[in-house]
Structure 1
């Protein structure tokens, strides 16, 4: 497996963990196709950063909550693969894009629930379906879940339910795509200090301190903790890891 010729498609790659994963993978010689929802300038800056380090990258607009756009998006991916990378397949799909929601069950609206479902569960299911013909045999899919699918914090029910669904989906994908030697795993980050969910873990000292107090390694996670783990799970030595949930939380809530 020559890592220099691999291509990863990362949803939500313009910021946060998706951007960090793109930078780590690019440093391993993986070319990047990223998606962004609305901030093109932010996405273009990631491309420039990767290319300034000698990597290859492209960005495409995608709302992962709008499944009606996926067929056209797959066509755009095929076009970019041909025009920029001179190939018709990519190797790694990372279903990363998402939003946070902190609302008690008693106050969660149907529209909030539906938005989370469309982005975190329906989106990855049907996006993967549409992109399957473009994924190389022997490729890999990595779905992003959350530590909240294992431990429970009030206010996270709807979000965590979707991530629980992602973990079940991962096992079924691994079973069904195995004939093409495509492995499928879940990475489940713990609390990370990013702008996700309004930046609560990063910017609120009380929350950051609490996370540190319930984490065996004594601090909240950082983007590099997750980007590095994603790069590791897509490296050559991890090819036999399949249908697994790998939590990357520093030992949170043990």
Structure 2
């Protein structure tokens, strides 16, 4: 580890970031690792992307390892936990965890007229059920003074009828933050929700100038967020600087829909 990383705000910490092979999860993993934490890079299927995230962390002087587990299927949390603890033991000699970022999720993009029970169940399973039971699973290894950061959505504060089921699943995740903050507070563990707005995660839609202009104009800063804009907020909440913030919904949407 580089001297800079060894002296970072998260030096001697360990972290798990779910869904960190790309997008906001990748940005959060890179930023947390840059502050000195050993990061478990979780992914579902894209092995190459996960390896690229690990390599990027190592190139900046950090330490990371990849963990594969598909969420929303039977045994998902157990599989993830086994890979996590094995990697932590190899990297640090123990299995203690300091930071859990529940970032992995599936979008909907389906309106009320077309949503199916199967699609709804999938979103609930990945976006709400998996994070809840992952917290339950890691509690025995989560150190006092730890951090749980749930990646929600700005759609909990403004409406998009095509994402009604997705918003419901993320609303459940936000409730996990609220109630676990009270439960885990005596251990000094903070639990918060970070709510991004429109973020450039590499979707082809962001290659369309007319769409980019409309989306950019929805924010107070008149630009679309980059993953690092949200990743930096996650890293702040993971640090000791955020020790007195818990049970909170942190709007990281760039002032989306504040008004013209």
Shorter-chain TM-score tier: over 0.9
Maintained 8 Å contact 1:140/1:234: yes
Q: Is 1:27 aligned with 2:25?
A: no
Q: Compute the TM-score of the two structures, normalised by the length of structure 2.
A: 0.92
- Residue 204 of structure 1 is matched in structure 2 by 208
| Conserved 8 A contact 2:192-2:246 | yes
Question: Aligned partners of 1:204, 1:170: CA distance in 2, in Å?
Answer: 35
Alignment-derived partner of residue 230 in structure 1: 234
Partner of 1:154: 161
Query: Following TM superposition, by how much is the alpha carbon of 1:86 offset from its aligned partner in structure 2, in angstroms?
Result: 1.6
Structure 2: gaps spanning 5 or more residues = 1-7
Whole-Å separation in 2 of the counterparts to 1:40 and 1:231: 24
Q: TM-score, normalised by structure 1?
A: 0.94
Q: After TM superposition, give the deviation of residue 80 of structure 1 in Å.
A: 1.7
Unmatched 5+ stretches in structure 1: none
Q: Are the aligned partners of 1:7 and 1:31 in contact in 2 as well (CA < 8 Å)?
A: yes
Return the match for 2:104 from 90, 94, 97: 97
Find the counterpart in structure 2 of residue 127 from structure 1.
Answer: 134
1:47 corresponding residue in structure 2: 54
CA distance in 1, matches of 2:133, 2:208: 36
Q: Per the alignment, in what secondary structure is the counterpart of residue 39 of structure 2?
A: strand
Aligned length: 251
2:217 is aligned with 1:213: yes
Query: Which string of whole-angstrom CA distances, capped at 9 and with x for unpartnered residues, describes residues 27-53 of structure 1?
Result: 111210111101111111111111122
Aligned to 1:61: 68
CA–CA distance in 1 between the matches of 2:156 and 2:77? 27
Moved beyond 4 Å, runs of 4+: none
* Structure 1 residue 58, shift from structure 2 partner: 0.5
Contact kept, 8 Å, 2:190 with 2:243, in 1: the verdict is yes
Equivalent position to 2:195, from 173, 188, 194? 188
Aligned-residue Cα RMSD (Å) equals: 1.5
1-structure distance, mates of 2:163, 2:56: 34
